[in-house]
Amino acid sequence: MPAVSKGDGMRGLAVFISDIRNCKSKEAEIKRINKELANIRSKFKGDKALDGYSKKKYVCKLLFIFLLGHDIDFGHMEAVNLLSSNKYTEKQIGYLFISVLVNSNSELIRLINNAIKNDLSSRNPTFMCLALHCIANVGSREMAEAFASEIPRILVAGDTMDSVKQSAALCLLRLYKTSPDLVLMGEWTSRVVHLLNDQHMGVVTAAISLITCLSQKNPDEFKTCVSLAVSRLSRIVSSASTDLQDYTYYFVPAPWLSCKLLRLLQCYPPPEDGAVKGRLVECLETILNKAQEPPKSKKVQHSNAKNAILFEAIALIIHYDSEPNLLVRACNQLGQFLQHRETNLRYLALESMCTLASSEFSHEAVKTHIETVINALKTERDVSVRQRAADLLYAMCDRSNAKQIVAEMLSYLETADYSIREEMVLKVAILAEKYAVDYSWYVDTILNLIRIAGDYVSEEVWYRVIQIVINRDDVQGYAAKTVFEALQAPACHENMVKVGGYILGEFGNLIAGDPRSSPLVQFNLLHSKFHLCSVPTRALLLSAYIKFINLFPETKATIQEVLRCDSQIRNSDVELQQRAVEYLKLSSIASTDVLATVLEEMPPFPERESSILAKLKKKKGPGAVSVTEMEDGKREGGELNGGGDRGPDASAMAASNASTPSPSADLLGIRPAAPVSAAPASVGSLLVDVFSEAGPAASSAAVNDEGFLRDLEPPTETSDSLLVEGSGDSDSAPPSEDPAPPLSEADELLNKFVCKNNGVLFENQLLQIGIKSEYRQNLGRMYLFYGNKTSVQFASFTTTVSYPGELQSQLNVQSKPVEPLVEGGAQIQQVLNIECLTDFSEAPLLNIKFRYGGALQNLTLKLPVTINKFFQPTEMASQDFFQRWKQLSQPQQEAQKIFKANNSMDTEVLKAKLLGLGMALLDNVDPNPENYVCAGVIQTKGQQVGCLLRLEPNAQAQMYRLTLRCSKDSVSRRLCELLAEQF
C-alpha cells in the first residue's frame, strides 16, 4: 500500500470530529452536523470546481456523519468521481464510500461498474485490490453478473501479483456465497485447483477457502484437489517452525492453512490412491505425535494453534472412520483433554468423543473414559460442558454399562439444570428401553424417572411404559405392585397418577389377592389423588373406575356413588360430565357379560419404533435423528419394542363408542391437539409418523382392520381431499426439464425393500430419502422422508409419480404435494396412498426435481412397491398345504429357479426374509426339516391370488431351489424373479 503523505492528513476532518466529540448534548451535535452538511452541500453545488483533496475531505465527512447514524442523501456522485482519480488515497476513500453507502439498486451502479472495470484492467496491483475489495464488500447480484466471469481470469493469470490473487480468490468466494448460480468455474476449475501448489502461502490460504466452498457444492468437479491438499499438508506438517518463518505462528507452522487443508479433505471420502492415502495417514500420525510433545512456548497462542490443528485432524479421522489405529489414538488423545484445566478443551473433547463413540473401531476405547465423563457430569461448573458429558454418556452406552449410566444420569437429574432436564429425561427413557434385559428394572427406572423429574416427563415417556407393560405378560403383575407402592407416597406427581390409573385399571386384579392391595384399597388410593389432578388425568381415572367395576364387582356400589355425585355428573367440564354420565349408565343397565365385553383388557400394541426417539429428534432440531438411527433404535430395542405409538388415552381404556375421546389425545405430542368435536384419535392405525413433526391425521377409534382400510380408502373425484394424482402437477411450478431416466442402481435399491418396509431408499451428498410403509389387504400407505443434507436451501422441490407400461391400470398411487422449499439440514415428508387394482410386475417411478445453488437436480427412482406387499399370510396344516400344492399342478402355475446363494445361508436370516415377504412361514409341514414352506393370498381389488412357496437350501453346494405355485401364472413368475435376488 502506498505511503500516505503528510498533506493527506485532512485537518478539516480532524477538526470536525473534534467538534462533534466536544458537543455537550445531542442537540448540539445535530446542530453542528447540520451546519457541516449545509457547508458541504454548498461546496458541491458551487461554481468553483473542487480539487481531488477537497472532494476526498468532504466525502470523508459525509461518511463519518453516516456512521454516526444520520441519513446522507447527496455526495454519491462526488464519491464516484473519486474512483477515477489516480491518487491512491482519493480512490480509496471513493471505494470506501461506495462500499458503505451505495446499494445495488442505485442509478450510479453502471458508472461504478465502469470505474471498477477500468481499475481491474489497469494492471496496477493497488488499484486492482481496491476494486476487488469493493466488489466483495458490496457482494450484490449485480456485481456478480458484471464481474463473475472476469475475476477467475485474474485469479489464474500468470502475471497477476500474489496480493491481487489473494484478493481475487476471496472476492470470488464472496460472490459464490451470494450468487452461486452466476459463478461458474467451468474451464478455470483445474487451474484454480492448482493454486494449492502456489509458492506463496498467502495465495494458497486464500485459494483453499474458495476451493473448500466450491467442493462442498460440486465435489466431483474438484476431486483432484485431494492429492494436492495432501501434498501441501505433508510439506507443512513435516517442516520445522523455522522453514516457514513468515507463516509461523508461535512456533506452529501455518496453523490456519493446516486447518483449512484438513477441513477441505473432510469434503471427500478417503483417497483411493494407496500412495496418497499412505501419505495422509502419515500426516495425521505426525500431528498426533506432535500433540504429545512438550510445548515450545508457554503462551496461550501456541497451545491454541497447536490444538486447532489437532482437533481438525481428529475430525478428519472420524470422518474417514476407516483407520482403527488412528481412531483409538485420537480417542486416547481426547481422553487426556477431559481433565484439562481449559474449559473449552474439555468441551471440544467431549463433543468429538460423542462422534467417536458411534464408530465400531473406537467405541470400546471411548468406554474406558466412562468414570471421567461421569465425574465431569457431576462436577463441571459450565452447564454446556455438563450437557456434552450427558451426550457422551448417551452415545457410549451399550448393554454392558447401561445400568451404570442410567443410574448416574438419574442421580444427576435431581440437581440438573432446568434447561437440560427434559432432554436428559428422554435419554434416560430411551436407554432404559433400548438396553433393558430385565423388565422389572425398566419399570423401576421409568417410575423413578417420573418421581425425580415428573414435570419434565413428556407424554411419550409414560405412554411407552404403558405400551410395554401391556405387551409383556410377565411384567404386568410386577408393574401393578410397583405402581401401587409408588402411589402411596404423600407427594405423588400427576404423571405417576396417570400410569397408576392405567395399570391398576388394567391389571389391578393381579395384586388384589393381597389384603394390603384389595380392590377397595386400590380404588381409595386412586380416588385420593383425584381432586389434585388436571382434567385429562381425572378423565383417565374415571375410565379406570369403570374398569374396576368389571374387574371387581364388589366395588360397583362405591364407584357408582362417586359417579353419581354432583361434582361428576354436573361437572362444568363437558368431557368429565359425559364420561361420568355414560359410565354410570353403562354400569347400571349392562349385564355382566356385556360389561366384560365392552371393558375387556386392552389388546397388545402393534410393534413399532419408539416415539421417544421422535421426541428427542424434535428436541435436537432438524436432521438430528436420521431414518437409519430410528431403525437402529427399533432393532436394538426389539425385546421391549412390542408397543406401538398410540398413546394410552383414557378413552381407549373404555369401550370404543362409550364416550368422546379426550381433546388431549395427541398421541405423539407432535401435532396440535384436536378440538373436542374432532374425529376420535386412532388407536388402530399402524401408520403414525415417528420421523416428522407433522404426523398423519388419526382417523378411527376402532381397533380393527376396517378402521385402517377406511383410513386408506382413496378419495372420490368429488371430494375436497388434499390428495392429488401422483402423475399430476404439484402446487409449485416444477422445472421445465423432462424427468430423468431411472438411476442405474434403481433395481438394486428396489430389491433391498422386497422383504422390508422401512429404511433409507436413496442417499447421496445432497439428499437422503427414507421410507416407512404399511400394507393391509389391497391398500397401503407410504411415507417418504426427504432430508436436505446440506446447509443450502433446496428450491422448487417437486416430486412426481409415474406409471411405466400398463401399470396405471394395475396400481393406483395418490400423493400429497410436498413443500417447495427444503431448508438446509431440514426434513420434509410426503404421504402416498396405494391401491392394488390387479397383479403387476413393474414398479412406479418417483421423479424428484429441485434447484440446489441454482443448478437443477433431476433424479428418478423406482418406488419399492412390489406385488408381495399385498400378501395376507395364511396358516395351513401339512395335509392342507400339500393338497393345495397338488391342485396348483398346471405347468403355467409353477415357477422354479435354481440359483447360487448370494448371502450367508443362516437359518434366522432366511426366516426373517421369508416373514418379511409377507407370507406365513409354516413349521413342521415339509418332510425335510431343512426346507422352508410358506403360504399366502395376494389381495387385489379385482381378485385374490393364492400362493404357495417352497425353498430348498443345499448348504454343501451353497445353492437354492425355489418353487412357487400360484393360481395366476404371471404372479408366480414375478415372485420367483423377486425372491431369487434376496437369498
Annotated binding site: 11-12, 43, 53, 57-61
What backbone torsions phi and psi does residue 152 show, to the nearest 5 degrees? Answer: -60, -35
How open is the CA angle 947-948-952, to the nearest 5 degrees? Answer: 145
357, amino acid identity: A
* Residue 337 burial (CB count, 10 A): 21
Closest CA to 557 of 568, 545, 544, 575: 545
12 contacts 57 by C-beta, under 8 angstroms: yes
Q: Could you give the CA distance from residue 687 to residue 75 in angstroms, rounded to a whole number? A: 66
Q: Which of 585, 827, 795 is nearest to 691 (CA)?
A: 827
Chain length of the chain: 983
CA-derived radius of gyration, the chain: 36
3-state secondary structure labels for all residues of 423-470? HHHHHHHHHHHHCCCCHHHHHHHHHHHHHHHHHHCCHHHHHHHHHHHH
Contacts of residue 315, defined as CB under 8 A and 6 or more positions apart, other chains included, come to 262, 263, 266, 352
Amino acid letter for position 605:
F
- Please tell me the distance from the alpha carbon of residue 951 to that of residue 945, in angstroms, as a whole number: 19
Backbone angles phi, psi at 752, to 5 degrees: -65, -20
**H/E run at residue 63:** helix 52-67
Least Cα distance to 869 among 911, 836, 831, 909 occurs for: 836
Residue 966, beta-bridge partner list: 947
How far does Cα 25 stand from its chain's mean position?
Answer: 55
Give the separation between CA 347 and CA 340, rounded to whole angstroms: 10
Residue 681: count other Cβ atoms within 10 Å of its Cβ. Answer: 26
In the chain, the amino acid numbered 779 is: L
Task: Please state, in angstroms and as integers, the Cα–Cα distance from residue 404 to each residue in 436, 437, 629, following that order.
Answer: 12, 14, 23
Amino acid at 298: K
Phi/psi of residue 629, nearest 5 degrees: -65, -35
Distance in angstroms (rounded) separating the CA atoms of residues 979 and 343:
57
Contact yes or no for 869/918 (Cβ under 8 A): yes
Closest CA to 291 of 341, 237, 247: 237
Residues 6+ apart with CB under 8 A from 342: none
- Indicate left, alpha or beta for 856 from its phi (over 0: left) and psi (-120 to 50: alpha): beta
8-state DSSP, 4: P
Asked if residues 474 and 507 have their Cβ atoms less than 8 Å apart, the reply is: no
Q: Are 225 and 189 in contact (CB under 8 A)?
A: no
**Angle at Cα 914 formed by Cα 980 and Cα 773, nearest 5°?**
100
Other Cβ atoms less than 10 A from the Cβ of 83: the count is 24
Q: Which residue, among 78, 85, 48, has the nearest Cα to 61 in the 3D structure?
A: 78
Torsion angle defined by CA atoms of residues 759, 763, 769 and 772, in that order, rounded to the nearest 10 degrees: 0
Residue 780, SS3 per DSSP = strand
Q: Grid coordinates in use for 296? A: 515450545
Phi, psi of 605 (to 5 degrees): -80, 145
